[in-house]
A and B are shown apart, each in its own frame.
Chain A
């Protein structure tokens, strides 16, 4: 059982306040979806949880299982089990997916790392995600379509087995079929691992596959409304402006 707790968090980027007195608690087994118009701080939230130093914590705390993680480095947070699937994953020329994943898995498991098991899992997961097996030997995300990049994020999630998964607009750039595959794989991962999930999305379509327990509407760096899936239907019908005032 793990808990990610954000208390009164105020965050700035280049001296501009993006999140203001933000509060949220996510426990194992729960799925939360953060929705809201562009520029309200959704991606900032994901980056600051992961420890991106471009985002400055002005005030407040982030706890993982009662441990304050404000000053932890990005890799330390990842090794706690926090995973961020990026909206725009970068490409890295010369570093193959295989080397990247092997290094990441080795960083987590150390001397318990087993190569054969790693390869077996890699093959199974690429198959389940309907990914081209050759991409494993290609440079990370280089020449990948938007959909392939997002699937690659989900592949990494499976291979690293995080307990707390943050997915920042994982649905953008996915066609209908790929969205279905990604959505189902994320749901399966949650069911098998009882992890917590924080989804950042604009659209209902992802939530057809990944059922959230809570929907939070964010505006001006704060959660202004929390509800269930019914709230999403309301947003689709009325728009953010009317609901958030």
Chain B
């Protein structure tokens, strides 16, 4: 398993030959840590952020032809400004799972499905305690490409979330699947926003989008509590269920337990 650990003042690499990584640390006036990752063989990567203060990161990930790549990120801390570029070659397949426990987030993800039949499955989950802006743009630059985006947030305390999610298919780029599913559970009275955008200039495309902002239903809470589960523990179960990623990770459970137990 490859791992990159982003600390306050350094980046640690624990990687093997499946990845070529260039790190350009804090090279410009904006104090941004830049990473360029070339994925040449099927592999997994974990990126951990151990910085407690502010962090600015710019990551470019290039996934080569026929390569399957899984990325898992867990972010804790106060403030994150981050920009990702994913470039997928033909027949590459990418799974991204992200879990954030951060106050302030400003994030831009640009996903370019450059190669024919490339596919990304992108799952973004966050517990928002302050203002979070997440912009995701997917460019279907070749035919038979697939994007499935699932973005979920639970807002607490001062948390407010904006998801701007855009899928783009140009004319002539046929037989693409463009899916996005965005949900925000507000456990406070702050305003959150979802802007699902599909820019599609081609008829031969399957595209779906959904957006939901709301609370856990009283009916669900009543049901769980009617079995003897306290309100706090019922919320814990509902949040874990809502933010569930298709992976077992004790750290995620611990983070949720920190707020709802």
Contacts and interface: CB of A to CB of B under 8 A. Distances in A.
A178 interface: no
A103 B233 contact: yes
B90 to A, nearest CB: 34
Nearest to B236: A103
A28 interface: no
B241 A93 contact: yes
B228 A100 contact: no
Contact of A100 (B218, B224, B230): B224
Interface string A22-43: 0000000000000000000000
B40 interface: no
Contacts of B220: 90, 92
Interface residues of B, number: 22
Interface in A98-112: 99-101, 103-104, 107-108
B218 A54 contact: yes
Contacts of B242: 93-94
Nearest to A93: B241
Interface string B207-235: 00000000001111011111111110110
Contacts of B231: 73, 75
Contact of B227 (A54, A73, A78, A90): A78
Contact of B226 (A54, A78, A94): A78
B227 A92 contact: no
Contact of A94 (B218, B224, B233, B241): B241
A34 to B, nearest CB: 18
A17 interface: no
Contacts of B223: 86, 89-90, 92, 140
A79 B220 CA distance: 18
A101 B223 CA distance: 12
B136 to A, nearest CB: 22
Contacts of A89: 223
A93 B228 CA distance: 20
A243 interface: no
Contacts of B233: 103, 107
Contacts of A73: 225, 231
Interface in A170-215: none
B156 interface: no
B-side binding surface: helix, strand, loop or mixed?
helix
A120 B233 CA distance: 24
A84 interface: yes
Contacts of A104: 224, 227-229
B227 A95 contact: no
B226 A50 contact: yes
A74 interface: yes
A92 B226 CA distance: 14
Interface in A61-118: 73-75, 78-79, 83-84, 86, 89-90, 92-96, 99-101, 103-104, 107-108
Given A90-B219, A92-B220, A103-B233, A78 B225 contact: yes
Nearest to B217: A90
A163 interface: no
B110 interface: no
B225 A75 contact: yes
A139 interface: yes
A99 B242 CA distance: 13
A160 B227 contact: yes
A89 B244 CA distance: 22
B217 A103 contact: no
A52 interface: yes
A160 B228 CA distance: 9
25 contacts: A50-B226, A52-B222, A74-B222, A74-B225, A75-B229, A75-B230, A78-B226, A78-B228, A78-B229, A83-B226, A86-B223, A90-B219, A90-B223, A92-B241, A94-B238, A94-B241, A99-B240, A99-B241, A103-B224, A103-B229, A103-B237, A104-B224, A104-B227, A107-B228, A160-B227
8 cross-chain pairs, A with B, having the tightest CB-CB distances, nearest first = A94-B241, A104-B227, A95-B241, A78-B228, A74-B225, A75-B225, A107-B228, A79-B228
Interface of B: 217-220, 222-231, 233-234, 237-238, 240-242, 244
